[in-house]
Chains A and B, each alone.
Chain A
């Protein structure tokens, strides 16, 4: 267990270094110059050089990367003219565009993304498992076929199509909901949920297909296992055989699927945020990439990498807790 966590931590560090190095490499390779974007159209050569120096872009890319790593571990000083600002570790630097500290930019937007993904995970897990369960118990009948068609249709519909359709139907046509505006959970929980319903649904339509199919096959597989026959042979009510013994076996693998899918979910969440105008991480990724805002992109890459590794570690720990046969090493 301890060994497992140490190993995970080690691989996390390696992963983050590699990921951010790749980001710096890509920025070095692309032709766009962030200084031009910062400085504006009317900049002449001299002004541009000042901006270059200020952003540290006049140094070789390896030095820039080294400073970035240094900032993460021990913090770094930024000097613009006479004043020196100290940025304490872990320092992700300042946005080229807005001069705001990257860490606080991310911290500001994290709750929005967490609200979106956490709510959606709950919703699609419930939807997917229920549909999968019904599908398995009605195997090869009409209900099963309808569910299959429905979820596969959902899987095949991109976020920007299903999201727009939802907006059109519920906000435009039926007018049951206002066009979503993000309200923090701490401010007004009801408004928070109301405004997030459509984004949640959008992700659910996409992601529940995987859960439905996995629950269905998992259930059918477990139902044909010997221990299910044992409990039937001992006269346990069918409700208990299905609900307690078959479902448990069918659901355990979903833990790891959620973790594996996490990266994909991040991408879809990004699209959903952009579509619904939610001020989350996803939106920030899109904006900062468009603006070649290197410190922000590097910071977000770190955050995403950290989140994926964390999600997988939690899934492994959960799995070992649920299935005692699993030994972590």
Chain B
């Protein structure tokens, strides 16, 4: 397929294998992967974490050198012909000459991918000079030119800014500008939009599409997000445990996957257009929030200090037995709002009434008995569990704090482990011995230990692969039934929110812009911002 219609082959990978470690501990991260990439085309490489997709991407630029990894196979720039240059066979200096000039790469986290100490224009100019030998002035002019090309407004002035003065989306644009500076034939993008909000993601993907069309640059798009691949790639390569399990034109593969793994991957993806199966009858309000506001003081410049309103006059109910989805982009106040709901953060003004009692302004002593009813599951299961406590202890601790005798607390902890799908025999192990999904199960078990009425989940599945994500969502659904829980579920992912929620609250800039039943909100959104958000989500073909 590749090479037809769009141009000659610019990259041929033949039998690429990457191994880490030695002796008995050899890990084959990439196992015999081959593909071609044509000028102006886009190949999406998808897979879950540990599938070898990023390892493949790094190998293309020879970035495994000096790390102890063994790379075999051929990586032919210019294709599998007489002109092809094998990156894997070049010496270090020659590889350096190829990087950035013929094949460039952009990374997942635009926050840390640029040097915080230097001006953005200088960083781009430095890369350009390294390959072109241009003078300082010419290199600066080039930097401004490419920044302008990637849509940085007022590029001549903004080139003087340092990375912390740019937003996440702008930084990713700046990195793309750096990639463009030397007009490479191939751009490798490793999860380029995973750290960005959906609306920004849509802009970056548009930009990449436009550049590809204008310059004939080929794009290798590595992502875990099938929606992104469906939107921006021509062909897709599905990776699983280091192997390329399926490859073909993107819409064929996504519509009619030939391989069982691809099918299971697709089934696990939450759909924006799939209505949830069972609806719950809405109960009476369990928690009522009235005109809630929270301000944070910014570190001031001079004597003027202004307060940022993270949450600004939000009023809503959480009804007994329902799941309320809270969705919004970064900085919309989702986390601040729910932290106030469980009493982890005091509001600046407004009221929170839980089960008929006002909890705002309650002294800690009187709040304590209520706290057991309000529990929270956090996004990052690794950092929210004490690494020096065994799993059993972490789960039993809330009980011990409440005066439950040690033996009983341990027994309950083991029961809970079993309930959330963990082997209770492993109660004396430490969190690092478990996978991300298992750790999130621990987080849920710990939150359940006090049998709360309200469970607040703050981005509980955002750090997980789609298949693990599906399992955790199922677990939450099950325990909600068993324990009669009311859940507040925070996510930036509109598809996940649709799958789990009965009602959905959309936040923007700290304000509640829309609150409606889930189907109504997704099928006939009333607010302009909700429509923008929904339109920005890349959907599977």
Residue positions of A touching B, CB distance < 8 A: 1-3, 225-227, 229-238, 240, 244-245, 248-249, 252, 322-325, 327, 329
In the complex, which residues of chain B have a beta carbon less than 8 angstroms from the beta carbon of A234?
A: 99-100, 104-105, 127, 130, 178-179
Per-position binary interface string of chain B over residues 151-164, scored 1 when its CB falls under 8 Å from any chain A CB and 0 otherwise? 00000000000101
Contacts of A329 in B (CB 8 A): 299-301
Contact across chains for B115 and A327 when beta carbons are under 8 A apart: no
Binds A, one of B15-23, B106-114, B343-351, B416-424: B106-114
Alpha-carbon gap, A230 to B179, bound state (A): 10
Known interface pairs A230-B175, A231-B127. Does A324 touch B96 (Cβ–Cβ under 8 Å)? no
Q: Which residues of B contact A (CB under 8 A)?
A: 61, 63, 95-101, 104-105, 107, 109, 112-118, 126-127, 130-131, 162, 164, 175, 178-179, 299-303
A235 adjacent to B301 (CB under 8 Å): no
Q: CA of A240 to CA of B162 in the docked complex: distance in angstroms?
A: 19
B109 CB contacts on chain A under 8 angstroms: 226
In contact, B116 and A230 (Cβ under 8 angstroms): no
Given the complex, which residues of A lie within 8 Å of B131, measured CB to CB?
A: 235
Q: Within the assembled complex, what's the spacing in Å between the Cα atoms of A158 and B97?
A: 51
Closest to A323 in B: B117
Residue from A1, A233, A244, A325 in contact with B105 in the complex, judged by beta carbons closer than 8 Å: A233
Query: CB-CB < 8 A to A230: which residues of B?
Result: 107, 113-115, 175, 178
Residues from chain B with a CB closer than 8 A to the CB of A235 are 95-101, 127, 130-131
Query: What is the CA–CA distance of A244 and B119 in the complex, to the nearest angstrom?
Result: 13
Complex interface: chain B residues within 8 A of A231 (CB): 115, 126-127
Report the separation of the CA atoms of residues A232 and B299 in the bound assembly, to the nearest whole angstrom.
35
Judge whether B99 and A232 touch: CB under 8 Å: yes
What chain A residues lie within 8 Å of B118 (beta carbons)?
A: 245, 248
> 5 pairs across A/B with beta carbons < 8 Å?
A229-B113, A230-B175, A235-B100, A238-B96, A248-B117
CA distance A226 to B172 in the complex (A): 13
| B17 → chain A closest CB, angstroms | 21
Nearest Cβ distance between residue B265 and chain A, in whole angstroms?
A: 28
CB of A232 within 8 A of CB of B302, answer no
What is the distance, in angstroms, from A183's C-beta to the closest C-beta of chain B? 41
Question: Is there an interface contact between B115 and A245, defined as CB atoms closer than 8 Å?
Answer: yes
A317–B154 CA distance with the chains assembled, in angstroms: 30
How far is it, in angstroms, between the C-alpha of A303 and the C-alpha of B175 when the chains are bound? 51
Interface of A is mostly: helix
Q: Contact at B302–A1, with CB atoms within 8 Å?
A: yes
How many A-B residue pairs have C-beta atoms within 8 angstroms? Tell me.
90
Q: How far is the CA of A244 from the CA of B127 in the complex (A)?
A: 13
A226-B107, A227-B112 are known contacts. Are A236 and B130 too (CB-CB below 8 A)? Answer: yes
Q: Contacts A234-B104, A237-B96: A323 and B116 contacting too (C-beta < 8 A)?
A: yes
Q: Is the CB of A324 within 8 A of B164?
A: yes
Chain A minimum-CB-distance residue to B126: A236
Q: Is the CB of B105 within 8 A of A249?
A: no
Asked whether B164 lies within 8 Å of A3 as measured between CB atoms, the reply is no
Query: Chain A residues with Cβ under 8 A from B299's Cβ?
Result: 327, 329
> Of B63, B114, B116, B179, which is within 8 A of A325 by CB?
B116
In order of increasing CB-CB distance, the 8 nearest A-B pairs are A235-B99, A234-B100, A226-B112, A235-B100, A234-B127, A227-B115, A233-B105, A235-B96
Q: Is the CB of B114 within 8 A of A227?
A: yes
Which one of B98, B162, B301 contacts A327 once the chains associate, using CB atoms below 8 Å? B301
A328 CB to nearest chain B CB (Å): 9
A3 touches B107 (CB 8 A): no
Contacts of B96 in A (CB 8 A): 235-238
Partner of B63, one of A226, A229, A323: A229
Q: Are B113 and A226 in contact (CB under 8 A)?
A: yes
A125: shortest Cβ distance to chain B, in Å? 19
Between A234, A236, A237, A252, the greatest number of chain B beta carbons within 10 A of the residue's beta carbon is seen for A234
CB A240 to nearest CB in B, in angstroms, measures 7
The reply to whether A233 and B100 contact each other, CB–CB distance below 8 Å, is yes
Complex CA–CA separation, A252 to B109 (angstroms): 23
Give Cα A249–Cα B118 distance, bound, in whole angstroms. Answer: 11
In the assembled complex, which residues on chain A have CB atoms less than 8 Å from the CB atom of B179?
234
Which of chain B's residues have a CB closer than 8 A to the CB of A236?
A: 96, 100, 126-127, 130
CA A98 to CA B15, docked complex, whole Å: 88
B113 → chain A, closest Cβ, in Å?
A: 5
Q: Is B61 touching A233 in the complex (CB atoms < 8 A)?
A: yes
Contacts of A248 in B (CB 8 A): 115, 117-118
For A244, what are the chain B residues with a Cβ–Cβ distance below 8 Å? 126
Q: Which residue of A lies closest to B116 (CB)?
A: A325
A161 to chain B, nearest CB (A): 40
How many angstroms from the CA of A112 to the CA of B447 in the assembled complex? 65
Query: What separation, in Å, do the CA atoms of A225 and B105 have in the docked complex?
Result: 16
Q: Which residues of chain B come closer than 8 Å to A325, judged between CB atoms?
A: 116, 162, 164
Question: Taking CB as reference atom, which chain B residue is nearest A327?
Answer: B299
For A324, the chain B residues whose CB sits under 8 A away are 117, 162, 164
Point out the residues of chain B lying under 8 angstroms from A226, CB to CB: 107, 109, 112-113
Question: With A and B bound together, what is the CA distance between A229 and B62 in angstroms?
Answer: 12
Expressed in whole angstroms, the minimum distance between the Cβ of A255 and any Cβ of chain B is: 13
Residues of B within 8 A of A252 (CB): 117
CA distance A234 to B97 in the complex (A): 9
Minimal beta-carbon separation of A124 from chain B (angstroms): 24
**Within the complex, what minimum Cβ distance (angstroms) separates A267 from chain B?**
33
Residues of A contacting B126 with CB < 8 Å?
A: 231, 236, 240, 244
* 8 Å CB contact of A240 from B97, B98, B113, B130: B130
- Minimal Cβ-Cβ distance residue in A for B175: A230
| Residue from A2, A232, A327 whose CB has the most chain B CB atoms within 10 Å | A232
| A3 and B99 contacting across the interface, CB-CB below 8 Å | no
- Chain A residues positioned under 8 Å from B104 (CB to CB): 233-234
Residues on the B chain within 8 Å of A327, using CB = 299, 301
A252 to B118, CA, bound (A): 13
Bound Cα distance from A125 to B59, whole angstroms: 39
CA distance A164 to B152 in the complex (A): 63
* Chain A: minimal CB distance from B385 (Å): 24
Q: What residues of B have a CB within 8 angstroms of the CB of A323 in the complex?
A: 116-117
CB-CB nearest in chain A for B101: A235
Inter-chain contacts of A1 with B (CB < 8 A): 301-302
A233 to B95 alpha-carbon distance, docked (Å): 10
Query: A329 CA to B126 CA in the complex, in Å?
Result: 34
Tell me how far the C-beta of B107 lies from the nearest C-beta in chain A, rounded to whole angstroms. 6
User: In the complex, what distance in Å separates the CA atom of A3 from the CA atom of B339?
Assistant: 33
Give complex CA distance A112, B130 in Å: 48
- Contact: B302 with A3, CB < 8 Å? yes
Asked if A322 meets B117 with Cβ closer than 8 Å, knowing A235-B99, A237-B130, A240-B126, the reply is yes
For the complex, give the distance between the alpha carbons of A229 and B100 in Å.
12
Question: Chain B's nearest CB lies how many Å from the CB of A4?
Answer: 9
Q: Could you tell me the distance between the alpha carbons of A245 and B126 in the complex, rounded to whole angstroms?
A: 11
Closest to B301 in A: A327
A residues in contact with B127, CB < 8 Å: 231, 234-236
Instruction: Contact check, A229 vs B107: say whether CB atoms are below 8 A apart.
Output: yes
Closest partner residue, chain A, to B92 (CB atom): A238
- Complex: how many Å from CA A3 to CA B300? 10
Give the most central of B63, B100, B175, B179: most A CB within 10 Å.
B100
Given contact pairs A235-B97, A235-B99, A236-B96, enumerate 6 new A-B contacts (beta carbons under 8 Å): A230-B107, A233-B61, A234-B104, A234-B127, A237-B130, A249-B116
